[in-house]
Structure 1
């Protein structure tokens, strides 16, 4: 496992254990979370990330993310993820594209399934 992949895996492990401070430690202060395609920003900055995930972790005691598949390419990791146990939602399936800069996750694009 290379360093880029290890960082993304460690943040996933922190997510699954709902360890907010450890989870946040893998993100840059200027983290940006976006919906793909396009550039719709859903979270901007580490404090906003803290607020969103603090609530999620506190209200989702059975939260768990399973990696269906992973591609590591240069400074990016693409994960096909299935998230269960999230409050208010039975199952979420996304592709997350993590981009790293200087050893921290600097942006994440989420590709969501089309729902009809």
Structure 2
């Protein structure tokens, strides 16, 4: 997907995903509104404001295997819903987790986001 195929509402969501995968905190943060809110679905506030979202992601961006694979994206009005499989390092080891991310976009920035997580699946070492 390139920028010319994206709607105005999808563009900041795609760009923050690209920055997430590059583990580039500065690029990632430019797509979030200064007063953004970040929720665990449906309503548990995890971070309020860009500084809190930055703090939340700095440690995560140190994970060498961090990668969000977009499975499907839909958008309606100013809302974008992404289905992703995220690879990361959990306390018990590397693995992946299914994520549904819902973004509310206002004025070209993510104003609110909600995340519904599945159960982590740890990668098992191959037995030879």
1: distance between equivalents of 2:90 and 2:51?
21
Deviates more, 1:49-58 or 1:15-24: 49-58
8 Å CA contact 2:83–2:100 kept in 1: the answer is: yes
Determine whether 1:30 maps to 2:35: yes
Q: 1:94 is matched with which residue?
A: 99
8 Å CA contact 1:75–1:99 kept in 2: the answer is: yes
2:80 aligned to which of 77, 82, 89: 77
Q: Report how far residue 112 of structure 1 moved.
A: 2.4
1: distance between equivalents of 2:104 and 2:89?
24
1: distance between equivalents of 2:24 and 2:70?
18
1:43 aligned to which of 42, 47, 65: 47
- Normalised by the length of structure 1, the TM-score is 0.90
Q: How many residues align?
A: 113
Q: Which runs of 5+ in 2 are unaligned?
A: 1-5, 121-128
Give a deviation string over 1:49-90, Cα, whole Å, max 9, x none: 1111111112x0121000111101110110011100334351
Change (3 A) 1:87 1:21: farther
Q: 2:67 is matched with which residue?
A: 64
Q: Aligned Cα RMSD in Å?
A: 1.6
- Normalised by the length of structure 2, the TM-score is 0.82
2: distance between equivalents of 1:13 and 1:114?
24
Q: Which runs of 4+ in 1 moved over 6 A?
A: none
Deviates more, 1:13-22 or 1:3-12: 3-12
Q: Which runs of 5+ in 1 are unaligned?
A: none
